[in-house]
Structure 1
Amino acid sequence: MPPRNNPMSAVQKKKTVSTTRKKGTASSSKSPRTPKKVQAKHSHIMPVWLRNILAVMIVGCFSIAFYYFFIRPYAYRWKPCHGLKEYGVCIPAGYDIHGIDISHYQGKIDWPKLRQNKETVTPLHFIFMKATEGGDHGDTTFSANFANARNHGFIRGAYHFYIPSTDALKQADFFIRTVKLDTGDLPPVLDVEVTGRKEKTELQQGIKRWLDRVESHYGVKPILYTSYKFKTRYLDDSIFNAYPYWIAHYYVDSVRYQGKWDFWQHTDVGNVPGIKEDVDLNVFNGTLEDLRKLTIK
């Protein structure tokens, strides 16, 4: 037999509803407490004024760094040119003998058009061409450029890009096999720009071995090409002062190197008719007769 229902009386229901409302009213009237963790988190929020100061300092540091590394080294490009402007750049004052150096980066050259630059206000007299790099990498345009330079009346020269991690004699022999210098050509050039993580003494020994081997073969002292900072830092030994020096120093009014130098590569953004890409421009520190005296006899 199912149990009988025992319904709550009306009085009991009224009391229960009243009690529930009182509890709800009491709990809702109390203000909620902020958890301790939340309070601690808010206590570490950076003040607005301090955040603004840090933002200004970060922007300032970034601006200084950007100017130092990206604007200052090239500021010379935007300086007013008070002298002669040719080939898209301001030509260093006081030098009459000009030239360029080229490699496969310049692409196919229009030699008849390039030859016309021998008749300008700033005539080009000499051209250096990249021949080799390391122990087995030859420049793909060297043979054609080397022959065309002679055929179009330029005083020509060839250079080797030195890789310190490759045996110096292997590099020297590779250059000798590749480059056949003739009477009237400039001495061979060693281009040194990297250390290859070699110790200074070891780097110097390798470079000297290359220079000795090449000098023995061609019968003339090679030209040493590097930046003035690299030379003063890594090739400061007096034995390297015996070689003709070709200094790379861009976007300056004059050479800052205090020693003797023969060639100065003063820019890498020359715009020369006959060459589509930007090209390095150089000056010779002497007369045309002095330049011819430097060539192979």
Structure 2
Amino acid sequence: MPLRNTKTSVRKKSTAPQRKPAKRKTKKKVNHSMPAWIRNILVFILAVFFTGAFYYFFIRPYAYRWKPCAGQKEYGVCIPCGYEVHGIDISHYQGDIDWNVLSMNRETDSPLHFVFMKATEGGDHGDDTFCNNFTEALNHGFIRGAYHFFIPSTDALKQADFFIRTVQLKPGDLPPVLDVEVTGKKNKVELQRCVKQWLDRVESHYGVKPILYTSYKFKTKYLDDSLFNAYPYWIAHYYVDSVKYQGKWDFWQHTDVGNVPGIEEDVDLNVFKGTLDELKKLTIK
């Protein structure tokens, strides 16, 4: 059997120059850290901001507790000078009240003579402490009053009728009070129209002009029409030594953090701009 010629293949060495493995380019680290002086400034700004916010919301409202009183200090606050008739306003937020202890505050240097009580809110919400508080105030010799918290989005006449059904005022009671603090997304003209509807309806029923309660800023902004100046005005203006409102007013709610024996929770304190006899003349005959 003839042998096959076998060719042995010999690998030729490549003469091409071999490439050296490429070196990986290493990126230079960029220092993104903030310069120390900028960081210190930002820390300082943040510290000032949070300190200011803490003071504004938690210290400022109560700062008058530590400042020297121009007059006298009672019920945990500085009592405005020049007023002899004082009172409080209460609602379910004050919880159960010890009326026997509360009545003793008529014998203090800043005697409490009148008590306003929340009766109703909106068209169907009654304060669940009103009936008891209203009876107890009369039994313990206080001049009493009742107020309605106005909800602009609810029909004004419905609110007025709800208040009338709830509150039976008697001779010697203060006129009914309308508490107006929010606009309910109504414009100024609409709000004034609704407020006037409530006032007219309630005045027609009780035969006396209601008292209008709001802050001095709210009144000057939304209820600045001269027709509202015909009503006794109860002004809310806190943390000041005197009222800045330039118009006529009868009651001033000067703080919301009074500490009154007989009431465990903080309570609003008020003064009447006049004598006790003048306050009695304001009551329903």
TM-score band by shorter chain is: 0.7 to 0.9
Give the corresponding residue for 1:244.
Answer: 232
Secondary structure of the corresponding residue to residue 257 of structure 1:
coil
Structure 1 counterpart of 2:153, one-letter code: S
CA RMSD of aligned residues (A): 1.9
Q: Which residue of the other structure, out of 51, 64, 71, is the alignment partner of 2:39?
A: 51
Give the corresponding residue for 1:34.
Answer: 26
**Residue 289 in structure 1 maps to residue 277 in structure 2:** yes
CA contact (8 A) 1:246 1:264 kept: yes
Give the corresponding residue for 2:10.
Answer: none
Deviations along 1:231-260, whole A, 9 cap, x unmatched?
111111111111100011112111111111
Q: Which residue of the other structure, out of 72, 77, 80, is the alignment partner of 1:84?
A: 72
**Cα distance in 2 for residues equivalent to 1:44 and 1:271:** 56
Higher mean displacement: 265-274 or 164-173: 265-274
Give the corresponding residue for 2:140.
Answer: 152
Structure 1 counterpart of 2:45, one-letter code: M
CA contact (8 A) 2:151 2:184 kept: yes
Deviations along 1:88-135, whole A, 9 cap, x unmatched?
111111000011111111111111111111122211111101100000
Equivalences for residues 123-134 of structure 1 within 5 A? 123-134=111-122
TM-score (norm 1): 0.84
**Cα distance in 2 for residues equivalent to 1:74 and 1:112:** 29
Give the corresponding residue for 2:105.
Answer: 117
Q: Which residue of the other structure, out of 158, 173, 196, is the alignment partner of 2:161?
A: 173
Equivalences for residues 7-26 of structure 1 within 5 A? none
Give the corresponding residue for 1:215.
Answer: 203
Structure 2 counterpart of 1:245, one-letter code: Y
Give the corresponding residue for 1:228.
Answer: 216
**Cα distance in 2 for residues equivalent to 1:118 and 1:44:** 70
The CA deviation at 1:75 is: 2.3
Higher mean displacement: 215-224 or 107-116: 107-116
Residues 240 and 121 of structure 1, relative CA distance in 2, 3 Å threshold:
same
CA contact (8 A) 2:70 2:81 kept: no
**Residue 203 in structure 1 maps to residue 195 in structure 2:** no
CA contact (8 A) 1:77 1:251 kept: no
Say how many residue pairs are matched. Answer: 266
CA contact (8 A) 2:65 2:76 kept: no
Secondary structure of the corresponding residue to residue 174 of structure 2:
coil
**Residue 135 in structure 1 maps to residue 123 in structure 2:** yes
The CA deviation at 1:65 is: 3.6
Residue identity over aligned pairs, in percent, reads 77
Equivalences for residues 88-107 of structure 1 within 5 A? 88-107=76-95
Unaligned runs of 5+ in 1: 1-22
**Cα distance in 2 for residues equivalent to 1:185 and 1:174:** 19
**Cα distance in 1 for residues equivalent to 2:52 and 2:142:** 45
Secondary structure of the corresponding residue to residue 251 of structure 1:
coil
Give the corresponding residue for 2:180.
Answer: 192
The CA deviation at 1:59 is: 2.4
CA contact (8 A) 1:220 1:296 kept: yes
Q: Which has more helix, going by share of residues?
A: 1
The CA deviation at 1:57 is: 2.3
CA contact (8 A) 1:97 1:283 kept: yes
